[in-house]
Amino acid sequence: MPETKGKHKQRTANYLGDILRLTRHPRLMIAFCAGFLRFFLDYGFLTYFPLFLVRTHGISTATAGALYIFFAIGAMITSSQAGRIAAGRDKANILFLAFVVSGASVSAVPFIPGVWLIGGALFFYGLANGVISPMQKSLLTQNAPAELRGGIVSFDRLIQQVSKTSSTSIVGLLLVSAELPTIFWMLGVLSFISVGLMACLLPRGPKILPTPTYTS
């Protein structure tokens, strides 16, 4: 893989300024939103999923944990084929489809009667999840020049940490006034709405990267 280090040395202020300007690039904004949404759904859904099964279906925590195997299998299938899936396709559109599948899977969980049938929803959630990460990372690296790529990836990691913290906190607070099944379909609706908003950011013209400054 090509190195991310650029050939030009910049002052810290200029470097940070270029990073901030580049974060407004539409495709990078989609990548940032996708990173935030992915971890918001994961930490909101997967954290409280075993609690939901134990409360509503009366199964053991061991059985609830075993159902995660379906999620892992789905994620491994698509992540191992990410290159083929992306070949000749717009990665942003693949992300949109993956989040639609994620939203549908999360929303379906409260309405599925059988415990092991819920494993099917987890499997499809895993299929979508295995696609999201490589497509999101590709959007980041392909739409940032080498000189700024490290800063853009760091900015994305910051967004993801905020997402992890806010997701469990917000869902935990919502549980004070809502039931777990309600939380799940709310997460599904959030995924659908987010896809629509991200689609509005997708530029229709040619992909043009902002030119960074190189003031020494």
| Domains, in order of start, for the chain | 31-198 (1.20.1250.20)
Taking the model in full, what pTM does it have? Answer: 0.85
- DSSP reduced 3-state for 112: coil
What DSSP string runs through 134-174?
A: HHHHHHHHHTS-TTTHHHHHHHHHHHHHHHHHHHHHHHHHH
How far is 39 from 160, CA to CA, in rounded Å? 7
Contact criterion met (CB below 8 Å) for 137 and 32: no
Calculate the CA dihedral of residues 132, 35, 157, 213 and round it to 10 degrees.
100
Contact criterion met (CB below 8 Å) for 105 and 125: yes
Contact criterion met (CB below 8 Å) for 201 and 30: yes
The pLDDT score that the predictor gives to residue 147 is 84
Over its length of 216 residues, how does the chain's per-residue pLDDT go in tens digits? 455 555 556 677 888 888 888 888 889 999 999 999 999 999 999 888 988 888 888 888 888 889 999 999 999 999 999 889 988 889 999 999 999 999 999 999 989 988 889 999 999 999 999 999 999 999 988 888 888 888 898 999 999 999 999 998 898 888 888 888 888 989 999 999 999 999 998 766 545 444 454 444
- DSSP reduced 3-state for 170: helix
Query: DSSP assignment, residue 60?
Result: -
Token couple for 190: 């959030």
Calculate the CA dihedral of residues 102, 107, 113, 116 and round it to 10 degrees.
20
Query: DSSP assignment, residue 209?
Result: P
- For residue 149, how many C-alpha atoms fall within 13 Å in the half-sphere facing its CB? 17
Burial 124-138 (b: 16+ CB within 10 A, else e): bbbbbbbbbbbbbbb
The pLDDT score that the predictor gives to residue 208 is 47
The pLDDT score that the predictor gives to residue 5 is 55
Query: DSSP assignment, residue 210?
Result: P
Contact criterion met (CB below 8 Å) for 47 and 171: yes
